[in-house]
């Protein structure tokens, strides 16, 4: 059994980007820039945005974080997005989700220029992804593809079962693996909460992608011997024995499932680590495209 090391792979990707950015800089092309916008005081969002900023700094990427009050109106936020659409030094724009309930996330996403949409959430980019055109891949699914690729886990002709149908993970990863392309070409099943018996599907998986948001939902009885398991879950559960009183677990019961799996991602240290690395990759890709290098 191999534990897929997301920390190691994400560090490799960041190192690769750091070198590419140094090269661009030394050629006088400038450096890529990311504009992140945070509305309100959601503590998890604050943590995410801060780690994105730190990651940019570490690889020599330019970044700005705009922190707006909870009371910001939809129009004010959209106007700020439009300002960054027109600001050449920022190649990527990210609006941290969730947004306060009085703001339409969809309208804000649609205000981002598709060329700067490094989350890959704009309907134009979603459409391009579905029909196999070049576009920004949403960061978490992109991270999953990189883990499979760098661990040389065959996807062509394999049965991938995706548990969960979110716009951020389930739908895009299913569509990406479905493409008739390298590092894809899988037989894909998406299963979700409406299924009477989820295990009937998960037992068939050569590659199982768990993105449900329920702690330790996938147990050993639900998988076959030799499966490759990708755990996207980040769930906080009470843990009186740990210092903070809680711990982070995935959607997979790691202890039991790892007894049967050939490959498995840990939580933490698996897919989560990859999301920021791929955001940096997308921002670099946006920079290259915009500079027409």
**Least distance (Å) from ligand GUN to the CB of residue 160?**
21
**Cβ(98)–Cβ(49) under 8 Å?**
no
Dmax of the chain from CA atoms? 59
96 interacts with ligand GUN by CB under 6 A: yes
Closest approach of Cβ 35 to ligand GUN, in Å? 12
Minimum Å gap between C-beta 46 and ligand GUN is 12
Rank residues 94 and 252 by Cβ distance to ligand GUN and give the closer one: 94
Would you give the DSSP letter of residue 118? Answer: T
52 classed as catalytic = yes
Residues in binding contact with ligand GUN, number by CB under 6 A: 7
Binding-residue pattern over the window 105 to 134 for ligand GUN, x denoting contact by CB under 6 A: --------------x---------------
Length of the chain: 293
The distance of closest approach from Cβ of residue 95 to ligand GUN in the complex, given in angstroms and rounded to an integer, is 6
Residues 166-185 that bind ligand GUN (CB under 6 A): 168
Catalytic residue among 5, 116, 117, 119: 119
CA distance 256 to 259: 6
Nearer to ligand GUN, 93 or 257 (CB): 93
34: phi then psi, degrees, rounded to nearest 5:
-120, 130
Which residues are paired to 229 by β-bridges?
A: 208, 264
Task: Among 59, 139, 184, 212, indicate the residue that binds ligand GUN (CB under 6 A).
Answer: 139
Q: Which two tokens stand for residue 8?
A: 């190691």
End-to-end CA distance of the chain: 42
User: What span, in angstroms and rounded, lies between the C-alpha atoms of 254 and 1?
Assistant: 12
Only segment of 61-69, 88-96, 192-200, 256-264 that touches ligand GUN (CB under 6 A):
88-96
Round to whole Å and give the CA distance between 250 and 66: 31
Q: Is 287 helix (H, G, I), strand (E, B) or coil?
A: helix
Question: Residue 251 catalytic?
Answer: no
Give min distance, CB of 262 to ligand GUN, in A: 28
C-beta separation of 103 from 74 below 8 A: yes
**Can 290 be counted among the known catalytic residues?**
no
Going through 156-274 in order, the beta strands assigned E by DSSP cover 159-163, 187-191, 207-210, 228-231, 235-238, 246-249, 263-264
String of contacts with ligand GUN for each residue 215-254, x by CB under 6 A: ----------------------------------------
Tell me which of 97, 130, 178, 248 binds ligand GUN, using CB under 6 A. 97
Secondary structure class of 153 (helix, strand, coil): coil
* Residues labelled as active-site residues: 52, 96, 119
**Residues binding ligand GUN (CB under 6 A):** 94-97, 119, 139, 168
């Amino acid at each position: 059994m191999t534990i897929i090391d997301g920390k190691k792979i994400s560090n490799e990707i960041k190192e690769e980007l750091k070198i590419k950015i140094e090269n661009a800089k030394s050629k006088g092309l400038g450096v890529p820039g990311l504009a992140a916008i945070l509305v309100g005081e959601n503590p998890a969002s604050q943590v995410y945005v801060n780690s994105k900023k730190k990651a940019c700094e570490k690889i020599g990427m330019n970044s700005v974080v705009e922190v707006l009050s909870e009371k910001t109106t939809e129009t004010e936020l959209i106007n700020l997005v439009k300002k960054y659409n027109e600001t050449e030094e920022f190649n990527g724009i990210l609006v941290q989700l969730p947004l306060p309930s009085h703001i339409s996330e969809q309208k804000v996403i649609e205000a981002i220029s598709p060329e700067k949409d490094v989350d890959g959430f704009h309907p134009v980019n979603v459409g391009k992804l579905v029909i196999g055109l070049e576009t920004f891949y949403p960061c978490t699914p992109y991270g999953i593809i990189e883990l499979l690729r760098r661990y040389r886990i065959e996807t062509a002709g394999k049965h991938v079962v995706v548990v969960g149908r979110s716009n951020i993970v389930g739908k895009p990863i299913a569509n990406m693996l479905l493409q008739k392309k390298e590092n894809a070409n899988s037989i894909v099943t998406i299963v979700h909460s409406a299924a009477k018996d989820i295990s009937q599907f998960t037992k068939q998986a050569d590659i199982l992608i768990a993105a449900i948001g329920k702690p330790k939902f996938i147990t050993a009885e639900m998988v076959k011997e030799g499966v490759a398991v990708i755990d996207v879950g980040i769930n906080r559960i009470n843990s009186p024995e740990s210092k903070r009183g809680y711990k982070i677990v995935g959607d997979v019961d790691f202890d039991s499932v790892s007894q049967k799996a050939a490959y498995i991602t840990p939580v933490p240290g698996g897919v989560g680590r990859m999301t920021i690395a791929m955001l940096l990759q997308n921002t670099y890709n946006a920079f290259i495209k915009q500079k027409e290098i």
